[in-house]
A and B are shown apart, each in its own frame.
Chain A
Amino acid sequence: TQLLEQSPQFLSIQEGENLTVYCNSSSVFSSLQWYRQEPGEGPVLLVTVVTGGEVKKLKRLTFQFGDARKDSSLHITAAQPGDTGLYLCAGAPDNYGQNFVFGPGTRLSVLP
C-alpha cells in the first residue's frame, strides 16, 4: 500500500514569512500533484510534477519533485493571508494506475 506523509501537520505564520511544507513516501510515484483546499470546498489543483528533480514555479510558490520520485516540497515566499488553507499532495501510482493516494495535508494559517 502506497502512503504519503505530510509535514508539518499545522503551520501558523505571519504575513511576509517564508515556509516549506513536505510530502514524503517510501514509494515511487509516476507523478505528484499539489492541491489547496478551503473549508467547504473541494481541492483545487496547483501543479503537477512528473520528472524526478523537477522544479516548477507558480508566482510565489515553488514545487520540487524528489530525484527518486518519492517526495516533494512546496515553498511559499512572502506568504499572504490568501495562502491560508489545507495543502494536499497526491501521488499517482508508479504503474500509471488511477488510484491516486492523498496525504493528510498541511493546514496553513497566514496571519495578517
Chain B
Amino acid sequence: GAGVSQTPSNKVTEKGKYVELRCDPISGHTALYWYRQSLGQGPEFLIYFQGTGAADDSGLPNDRFFAVRPEGSVSTLKIQRTERGDSAVYLCASSTGLPYNEQFFGPGTRLTVL
C-alpha cells in the first residue's frame, strides 16, 4: 500500500517568507508526528496529532511554527517569517498508535532558507 508522502520534496525560500509543508499519512493511521532533522543529527520531535487535535506540541521551537490536521488525515506544517536556522529536513511519520506507536516515516521535505 501507499506509504507516507510529503510535498514538496525540496523547498528553497528567502529569509522572512512563509512556507507550508504537507504530509499525507498512511490511510487509517490516527497518529501523526512532525520532526525536524538537521545535518548529522537524529530527528527532533516537533508535534504529535491524535486525530484532528494536537495532543503534544511541546517540541515546536517558537510561535513561528504551527501545524494543523483539520480532518484527521493530511497535515500541514506552517512556518512564518522563516530564518536561516530553520533550514533542515522536516519529516512526517504516522502510526496506528497501537500497541507501541511504531512510526512509518515519509521521505521528508528539505527546507533551505537563504
Task: Give B103's nearest chain A residue, CB to CB.
Answer: A45
Q: Which partner residue on chain B sits nearest A89 by CB separation?
A: B42
Residue B91, interface by CB 8 Å? yes
Q: Do residues A102 and B42 form an inter-chain contact, with CB atoms below 8 A?
A: yes
Docked-complex contact B4 and A42, CB < 8 angstroms = yes
Contacts of B31 in A (CB 8 A): 98
The smallest C-beta distance from B88 to any residue of chain A, in angstroms, reads 13
Q: Are A97 and B42 in contact (CB under 8 A)?
A: no
Contact B108 A42 (CB under 8 A): yes
Q: Contact at A100–B45, with CB atoms within 8 Å?
A: yes
Please, how many angstroms separate the alpha-carbon atoms of A50 and B59 in the complex?
A: 24
Output the least CB separation between B22 and chain A (Å): 15
Q: Chain A 17-50, CB within 8 Å of chain B: the 1/0 string?
A: 0000000000000010101000011111100101
Count contacts between A and B, CB distance < 8 Å. 62
Known: A88-B43, A99-B48, A102-B43. A48 touches B100 (CB 8 A): yes
The CA-CA distance from A104 to B41 in the complex, in Å, is 5
Interface residues of B in 46-73 (CB under 8 A from A): 48, 50, 55-56, 58-59
Complex CA–CA separation, A74 to B66 (angstroms): 36
By a CB distance below 8 angstroms, the chain B residues around A97 are 56
C-alpha gap A40/B106 in the complex (Å) = 10
Q: Given the known A-B contacts A42-B106, A44-B105, A97-B56, are A104 and B4 also in contact in the complex, defined by CB atoms under 8 Å?
A: no
**6 closest pairs, A vs B, by CB?**
A42-B105, A102-B42, A98-B48, A48-B100, A102-B43, A99-B45
Residues of B within 8 A of A (CB): 4, 31, 33, 35, 40-45, 48, 50, 55-56, 58-59, 91, 93, 100-108
Q: Would you mind naming 5 contact pairs between A and B with Cβ atoms under 8 Å apart?
A: A42-B108, A45-B102, A48-B100, A98-B31, A100-B101
